[in-house]
Amino acid sequence: MKPYSGKNALVFGGASGIGLVTAQLLQERGAKVTVADLSDPNGDLHGAPWLRCDVREPAQVEAAVQTAADGKNLDWLVYSAGIQHYGTVITTPVEEYDMVQSVNARGAFLAARAAIPRMKAGGAIVIVSSVQALACQDGVAAYAASKGTLEALVRAMAVDHAKDHIRVNSVMPGTVDTPMVRASADSFRGDGPLEEILAEWGSSHPLQRVAQPAEVAQVIAFLLSDEASFLTGSSYRVDGGLLAQLPVRL
Ligand code: BMA
């Protein structure tokens, strides 16, 4: 029997990047996985059903959760939907700020709101946050604020729903080779090759490279699993040492 047999999982933002690889990993280990995403899957879901869902729309989120649960307990929820826009509070249009909050943070609230009542036999939630909830670079006001919101939400939900046997944690990735990060790199690269930007971003991490999505997915899977039975209300940096380092050169 596979280790996650009998687990019913739903991954928002599961059509690409960290969400996709997490969905694949959970499925390989025997979980029943449903993927909800606005975009078409850009990788192999190994037959997992994909539901088109705009996480800004409460009714669509509710419908996705209802379909995934399918009248049974929803054991695991992963929230990996996310977008990245650059700007300061001055240069970020209000609509753009609202959009980033809505996709990155409010969507997690909606997903949990729909999922928790279907976790009657207990469950686990993992939210994909970012190191940018704790420290940031220039021009990430909306994105960093949305990730900070997620961190507070993780703690609030963990405290409120511990009595329901629901654990809630987050992962805080550093730079990961995903379509989102590649799109960001593309917007900064000018005439240079995109791989060079990724390598440069990677070099700011002590491990000297960007992560692969699977390296984050492994941690998400562990946090969902029964092996993490005493972990709740916490955030786990998966950042190649990024936040352990002060940018002071001797
Ligand atoms: C992630 C994304 C990446 C960034 C990394 C480290 O959440 O914002 O684009 O490189 O954080 O700051």
Q: What secondary structure does DSSP assign to 34-83, as a single string?
A: EEEESSPPSS--TT--EEE--TT-HHHHHHHHHHHHTTS---EEEE----
Q: Are residues 52 and 120 in the same domain?
A: yes
pLDDT > 90? residue 94:
yes
**Cα of 184 to ligand 1 centre, how many Å?**
9
DSSP conformation class of 30? T
List the residue whose alpha carbon is closest to atom 4 of ligand 1: 175
Mean pLDDT over all residues of the chain? 97
Domain extent for 148: 8-174+211-238
H or E segment and range at residue 12: strand 8-12
**Cα of 101 to ligand 1 centre, how many Å?**
16
Positive or negative: CA dihedral 8, 14, 20, 21: negative
Please state the atom number of ligand 1 nearest to the C-alpha of residue 239. 6
Phi-psi region of 104 (alpha: psi -120 to 50; beta: other; left: phi over 0): alpha
Q: Name every residue whose Cβ is closer than 8 Å to that of residue 21 and which is 6 or more positions away in sequence.
A: 43, 213, 214, 216, 217
Q: How many domains does the chain have?
A: 2
Q: Are residues 116 and 50 in the same domain?
A: yes
Active site residue ranges: 143
The span from the CA of 198 to the CA of 209, in Å, is: 8
Q: What is the CATH number of the domain that holds 76?
A: 3.40.50.720
Residue 243 lies in a domain: no
Residue 108 lies in a domain: yes
Is 0.75 surpassed by the pTM of this model?
A: yes
> Residue 127's beta-bridge partner residues?
79, 170
Q: Are residues 203 and 215 in the same domain?
A: no
Q: Could you report the per-residue pLDDT of 21-43, keeping only the tens digit for each?
A: 999 999 999 999 999 999 999 88
List the residue whose alpha carbon is closest to atom 7 of ligand 1: 130
